């Protein structure tokens, strides 16, 4: 997507289904930008199937990790990361 000097969108990208993902990009009288998007119908259907209540992250876990990092108790297990990365690649390649 290209934006001209005034901040207006010159072209809008198309989503996989061919629909526009950015539907507007207009400046209001106050100078603020009004942006809106459309959701792919398949994504909207998936949201309805799981009830839309899927928690994106575990806030308690994030807070515990944040505290462990700040206290210097968090260690990165590179061997575990490497093993899981290799397993993920194998799964993607179908091996």
* Beta-bridge partners for 25: 35
pLDDT at res. 40:
83
Name the helix (H) or strand (E) containing 60: helix 59-70
CA distance 40 to 14: 11
The pLDDT tens digits along the chain (95 residues) read 555 555 555 554 544 554 445 545 555 566 677 678 788 888 777 777 766 566 678 899 999 999 999 999 999 999 999 999 999 999 999 86
Is residue 87 within 8 A of residue 95, CB to CB? The reply is no
pLDDT at res. 20:
44
């Amino acid at each position: 997507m290209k934006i001209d000097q005034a901040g207006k969108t010159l072209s809008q990208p198309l989503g996989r289904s061919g629909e526009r993902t950015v539907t507007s990009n207009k400046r209001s009288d106050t100078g603020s930008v009004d942006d809106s998007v459309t959701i792919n119908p398949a994504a909207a259907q998936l949201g309805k199937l799981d009830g839309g209540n899927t928690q994106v992250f575990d806030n308690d876990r994030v807070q515990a990790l944040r505290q462990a990092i700040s206290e210097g108790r968090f260690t990165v297990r590179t061997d575990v990361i490497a093993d899981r990365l290799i397993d993920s690649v194998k799964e993607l390649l179908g091996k």
